[in-house]
Amino acid sequence: LISFDGFRWDYPDLYQLPNFNLLSKRGVRVKYIKNNFATITFPLHYSIITGLYEESHGIVGNTIFDPKLNAVTTLDTMNDTKWWSQNSYSQPIWTSNELANDSYQRRSGVIAWPSIGTPINGHLPVRYQLFNLTRKFDSILKQIIDWFREPVESRINLGVVYYSEPDMTGHHHGPISDEMNKTLKECDDYVGQLLAMIDSDEYLKHNLNIIITSDHGMESIRKNHSIILADYIDTKLCSAYGSRSS
């Protein structure tokens, strides 16, 4: 399972991305996804791996105020397990995989996914590495493939990987830009490297399934077209927290 943050559904049609298109020809491509709200990184990625809506798993923003805890958390302080374990049924897929009751020894490997490194209801995957903004994605892909290639008594059977592009480029330069074209070509090259690694290994070629997804898309707007909520609601009736509250 690979997430390219902010990868809009129609990027393979708007830009020349031969490896993404090759992957879709070798498998299937959905026409669209229907987002949860709020459409931002941490809430949506936790929904992807738990199957829960944001109001159920409790991660409702990249910055959160919890009235029960009377506390605010941000991306920098969200590594406390209390934010991720607010109920017993918020269970990431890597935990479900390892707890599955069958005769197969199941192991999960997770790299950079939002929440990784924080025990959720007392559980961490067998293999994991934290998010590192300076790490190249080809290094991450090589690591996850190496975990799949290990001897049967130690190899993983589920890999979960997060990449912060093309979201970062989109926020700085917009979804339709030369900079986005360059970033998407890099993402496409990474997919090509992934396919090459899989095709060179007989076990992986016949046994590994790949799911590439994203948390949200992106649209271009003009600054003078901003929606000012105060024009429509009485802001005295609510409290807002975080960078988007201003």
CATH of the domain at 98: 3.40.720.10
Sign of the dihedral defined by the CA atoms of residues 115, 119, 121, 127, in that order: positive
Grade residue 20 by pLDDT with cuts at 50, 70 and 90. very high
Answer whether residue 198 shows pLDDT above 80: yes
Copy the structure tokens of residue 34: 């229907």
Structure tokens of 239?
Answer: 């409290």
CA-CA distance, 203 to 84, in Å (whole number)?
35
Report for 33-42, 45-54, 216-225: range of highest mean pLDDT: 45-54
Return all residues near 244 (Cβ < 8 A) that are at least 6 apart. 61, 63
Length of the chain: 246
Q: Could you tell me the pLDDT band of residue 229, with boundaries at 50, 70 and 90?
A: confident
pLDDT at 177: 97
Domain enclosing residue 85, as ranges: 2-245
Report yes or no: 27 and 17 within 8 Å, Cβ to Cβ.
Answer: no
Give residue 69's pLDDT band: very low, low, confident or very high (50, 70, 90).
confident
Rounded Cα distance, 42 and 64, in Å = 11
Q: Yes or no: say if 158 and 108 are a contact pair by the CB < 8 Å rule.
A: yes
pLDDT for residue 74 is more than 70: yes
User: Tens digit of pLDDT for each residue in 90-118?
Assistant: 999 999 999 997 767 899 999 999 999 99
What value does the mean pLDDT take over residues 84-95? 89
pLDDT for residue 89: 85
Closest CA to 156 of 98, 196, 203, 106: 106
Domain count, the chain: 1
What the block records as the tokens of 65 is 């105020």
Catalytic site positions: 41
